[in-house]
Amino acid sequence: MKKECIKLITALMIFTLTIQSGHAFAPNDKAYKEALLKSSGHPEYTMKNMKSIMGEKELTYLIKKYNKHPEKYQSDLFKKGDEEGVKRLTYRAGLHSHTTFSDGKLTPEETLNQAAEYADKVKAKHPFEKYPMVIAITDHFNTRGCQKAIDIIQKNPEKYKNVKFVIGMETEAYLKMPSQKNNGRIHILAWGINPYEWPFADMNFDDAMAQFGKEYKELNFLPDYKDFIKRIHVLKYGVVGIAHPLRYFDKDETIDAVLDELFDEYASLKDEKVLFTEGYYQPYRFDVKEELYNKTAEKAHKRGIIRTGSQDTHGRTIFRN
């Protein structure tokens, strides 16, 4: 009887702490994971080994909770390169990272291993933390790195039990705006997608670079911004948002016009899918004026666009860009 009481009290304590942490009723992405299993072409993959995969529903739930918490996305807190967010274990999500399957220096396995090492440290200090580390692979124009990551997790799920992995991709679309630089190129992040199905499985980074050139001087290959987002929104799985919005202007005095048009176009496409932009983009924090950084957040909030963040990792660590 005494043991049963202890178990009951322990269960109630865990439930209470879980509610207090704000993660008690996260949605389930079972159907998404079943779709991944079905389309993967790997009959050896099992559902029990998919626990680390985060789909659109759970991801939407998470980024809504993190919307007003920039520290969740910040590895550097006070100055560039201090990694205080990592040292203090307040950092939680890197939703934009590149691997050797595009122009990054980390392999998918190295990316996952760094995330797992950090997640284990967070879990040791905060045992009731549901999301100790969320990492997305968003290679340019392809999902081969994501496919590789799924394979790695399937083979060793215990190693990555404290990691939540988001399947993603970064691509581009065309939207010409007043005073905009980059010739109308808008970078787009897609998360919670099926990497084995159209249009993601058909894209290829090497072919894109060979055909269009690294300088992207020709723009006729880029899909229309609104049309492309609509195409993603009609897919059964996946959300799509704006990467590093402060990249798309030349002078400080043009930022209002550019952000207004960019966010207005994007907000006009809202249906049941969540809208997001990288409002807590780490490379901006110490390289642009603070008022510009804050202006992005204000304009996104005004239109109901969720603010997310990232390191936009290309180097040898997931904690820096």
How much is the pLDDT for 87? 98
CA atoms within 13 A on the CB side of 24: 11
Which pLDDT does position 4 carry in this prediction?
57
The reported pLDDT for the residue numbered 203 is: 67
Q: Which residue has the higher pLDDT, 221 or 194?
A: 194
Cβ neighbours of residue 309 closer than 8 Å, sequence gap 6 or more: 70, 72, 73, 74, 93, 95, 278, 279, 280, 281, 282
Identity (one letter) of the amino acid at 99? T
Beta strands in 114-265 (DSSP E): 133-137, 163-174, 185-191, 239-242
Query: How, if at all, do strands 239-242 and 185-191 pair?
Result: antiparallel
Q: Is the pLDDT of residue 228 over 70?
A: yes
- Does domain 26-310 fall into CATH 3.20.20.140? yes
Q: What is the distance between the alpha carbons of residues 163 and 151, in angstroms, rounded to a whole number?
A: 15
Match 């190295």 to its residue by tokens: 110
How far is 318 from 321, CA to CA, in rounded Å?
7
User: Cα–Cα distance between 48 and 34 in angstroms, integer?
Assistant: 11
> How far, in Å, CA of 210 to CA of 30, rounded?
38
Quickly state the pLDDT bin for 19 (edges 50, 70, 90).
Answer: very low
182: left (phi over 0), alpha (psi -120 to 50) or beta: left
Tell me: the pLDDT tens digits for 127-172? 999 999 999 999 998 999 999 999 999 999 999 999 999 999 998 8
State how far the Cα of 122 lies from the Cα of 91, in Å rounded to an integer.
Answer: 9
What mean pLDDT do residues 66-82 have? 95
Cα–Cα distance for residue pair 140/142, rounded to 1 Å: 6
The pair of three-digit structure tokens given for residue 228, joined into one six-digit string? 């492309």
Buried b (16+ CB within 10 A) or exposed e, 63-95: bebbbeebebbbbbbeeeeebbbbeebebbbbb
pTM to 2 decimal places: 0.88
Q: In this structure, what DSSP letter does residue 288 have?
A: S
Q: Given the DSSP bridges, would you call strands 239-242 and 53-54 parallel, antiparallel or unpaired?
A: unpaired
Give the tokens for residue 48: 């029990």
254-303 pLDDT, tens digit per residue, is: 777 888 888 998 998 877 889 999 999 998 888 888 888 888 889 999 99
Among 161, 115, 143, 134, residue whose Cα is nearest residue 36: 143
